[in-house]
Amino acid sequence: MIPSRRRTDLSNTAVPVERAPTVRAGGATSLPTRLVTAFSGTVGLVTKIALLAIFNALVVWALEILAADGKWIPVFIAAAATVTIDVIYLLPGRTPAKFLIPGTAFLIAFTVIPIVYTVNIAFTNYSTGHILSKPQAVDSIKQFTLAPPPSGKTYNLTPARDENGDLVLLLADADTGKPYVGTTEGLKPLDRASVKMSFGAITAAQGYTAIKGAELFDPASGLDKQLDEFRVPVGRGAIHPEGIDNAVELEPTLRYNPQADTFTRISDGVVYRDNGKGSYQTAGSEELEPGWKTYVGFSVFSRIINDPLIRNPFLRVLLWTFVFATLTVGLSFALGLFLAITLQKQFALQRFYRVILVLPYAIPAFLTILVWGGLLNDDFGIVNKLLPWGLDRPWLFDVWWARVSVILVSIWLTFPYFFLVCLGALQSIPGELVEAARVDGAGAWQVFRKITLPLLLVATGPLLIASFAFNFNNFNIIYLLTKGGPASGESSIAGATDILISYTYKIAFATGKGSDYALAAGISILIFFIVATISGIAFWRSKALETLR
């Protein structure tokens, strides 16, 4: 008898089903997940409202300050941005915008605003002597051109108040001792019998209360500001307080005509007119100081091109900047690649040597530069002490040796970076290519030149460009090691080792008459275009290497 086949009921067969892993409470949940859970719902809403309230309070405080200064455009922008942020964070949804706002704010604050400000300054005459606004400059000229007349007098001063509590000046002629009272209306003599004097100064006067004691020095009273602005008109001039115990008679040497916007020298009638460049100037190019900040178009860039006192140092510094950046990157890359190839193979103490070579990169650069400054010092530097007699060199005080020192220290700081980069890039080169080249009879140099180096440049090309841009603006190495010196032998603030960025710094803070911020901003813009052009050309040319992939 043939047994019948059994039918298998698949519907009743148990099939194992994978279950999603259960998340256990406590330490199994990630910290970000727990934070999101904790700040969801009511807690998150309350926290959000509290933070927005603090933010809005700070904005209102800033708006009050801006409005007091009459800066209405920033007031409008800040108010509109605050309202937008409140709407985005309080209304439901709009999740991407909530995450984009902080990054956008930092981008605008630390990148966009500085760029816009620098470009704006480059088209002005903002510099020492041209910092104030025009009304402030006019007031300063009026103040600074006051001088004692031939028969001017000096007075011993006692601040006082009259019966109405108004400020007056009790004045005693320093030569004759004759007493006066000075008001904003003029000078009136006092009866000697009605005043008391001590050491040539009036201590008391009938009908007036001398200001004494703490009130003289109390900032809350505002007496110092009142005295600074107080004037007693006499003749063509006025009596000006100088401190709290002396006053002097001064009269203007220039007369201002607000309708014609001119200053006229009283002694000879010479007229100073607005020259359109932020100064009052005579026909003979004599200027009054201070001037004021104003827009001058492309005048700054015209100075860089046409003024030999600016053009010649700029071109010399530009050439040295190219040399410095090129040699630093080229020699550092060559040294780093050589060491990477040398330490690529396994041998005893390989890891120890790798760590030693990376140490210069691990130590903060500014400390390394300062240490090298001491090592290369002429008087007590250990480098000259270790050299045989007669081979010591003025590393930091000779034009050419200072340049050599800057390049050597830059290589010391840069080669570990390229050592690490090249060491990693060499690991990614397929060994089959090298083996095939050797089978075809290629020598070690041919393998390196035809295979290793081209493939290496594919990976390191962008890093070489970035390193060149960094060293093109490597302010620290120049300023901390040589401060741009030594002097180059010409009447310029640019030293022998100054690169464009350190030269710009000196222009901004250490130029002849003071600080020339506009010229520094103009050169900063040129630096940007130079680096951008070089980087663009280099990236474009490096596309040819991509065919090797």
Q: Can you tell me whether residue 288 is helix, strand or coil?
A: coil
Q: Is the distance from CB of 417 to CB of 336 less than 8 angstroms?
A: yes
Q: Is the distance from CB of 172 to CB of 203 less than 8 angstroms?
A: no
Q: Is the distance from CB of 167 to CB of 159 less than 8 angstroms?
A: yes
Q: How far is CA 172 from CA 192, 204, 210, 227, 228, in A?
A: 10, 12, 14, 17, 19
Residue 494, token pair as written in the block: 């640019």
Q: Is the distance from CB of 62 to CB of 79 less than 8 angstroms?
A: no
* Residue 438 CB coordination number (10 Å): 13
Amino acid at 461: G
Amino acid at 186: G
pTM of the model as a whole:
0.77
Q: How many angstroms from the chain centroid is the CA of residue 329?
A: 26
Whole-angstrom distance, CA of residue 195 vs CA of residue 209: 11
Q: What is the tens place of the pLDDT at every residue in 347-356? A: 778 788 888 8
Q: Is the distance from CB of 223 to CB of 210 less than 8 angstroms?
A: no
Strands, E assignment, 199-258: 201-205, 209-210, 232-234, 237-241, 246-252, 254-257
Sheet of 262-265, strands arranged across: 254-257, 262-265, 271-274, 280-281
Query: Nearest Cα to 414, choosing from 328, 499, 354, 342?
Result: 328
Domain assignments of the chain as residue spans, ordered by start: 40-122, 133-145+255-292, 148-252, 306-548
CB-based burial of residue 525 (10 Å sphere; 0-12 exposed, 13-18 middle, 19+ buried)? middle
- State the Cα torsion 494-496-497-498 to the nearest 10°: 10
3-state helix, strand, coil in the chain (%, to 5): 55, 15, 30
Whole-angstrom distance, CA of residue 62 vs CA of residue 43: 29
* pLDDT on residue 386: 85
HSE-up of 272 (CA within 13 Å, CB side)?
Answer: 23
Write out the CATH class of domain 40-122: mainly alpha
* pLDDT on residue 158: 92
Whole-angstrom distance, CA of residue 415 vs CA of residue 357: 9
- Is domain 306-548 given the CATH code 1.10.3720.10 in the classification? yes
DSSP type of residue 10: G
Q: How far is CA 15 from CA 11, 20, 22, 462, in A?
A: 10, 16, 20, 55
Contact residues for 39 (Cβ-Cβ < 8 A; gap 6+): 47
* pLDDT on residue 25: 47
Matching CATH topology for 148-252 and 306-548? no
Q: Is the distance from CB of 532 to CB of 444 less than 8 angstroms?
A: no
* Residue 521 CB coordination number (10 Å): 22
Q: Is the distance from CB of 253 to CB of 262 less than 8 angstroms?
A: no
Q: Averaged in consecutive runs of 10 residues, what is the pLDDT profile of the chain (549 residues)?
A: 44 48 52 66 80 92 90 89 87 76 86 93 93 92 87 90 91 92 92 89 91 80 86 89 90 92 91 93 89 93 91 93 95 93 80 83 88 88 82 87 95 92 87 82 84 86 90 93 84 86 89 80 94 86 58
Sign of CA dihedral 33, 34, 36, 40: positive
* pLDDT on residue 109: 85
Whole-angstrom distance, CA of residue 38 vs CA of residue 517: 51
Whole-angstrom distance, CA of residue 445 vs CA of residue 347: 22
* pLDDT on residue 547: 54
Residue 354, token pair as written in the block: 């790798």
Write out the CATH class of domain 148-252: mainly beta
Whole-angstrom distance, CA of residue 197 vs CA of residue 183: 20
The DSSP annotation for 65-78 comes to: HHHHTT-HHHHHHH
User: Long-range CB contacts (< 8 A, 24+ apart) of 251-255?
Assistant: 251/146, 251/147, 251/148, 251/149, 251/152, 252/142, 252/145, 252/146, 252/147, 253/145, 253/146, 253/147, 254/141, 254/142, 254/145, 254/288
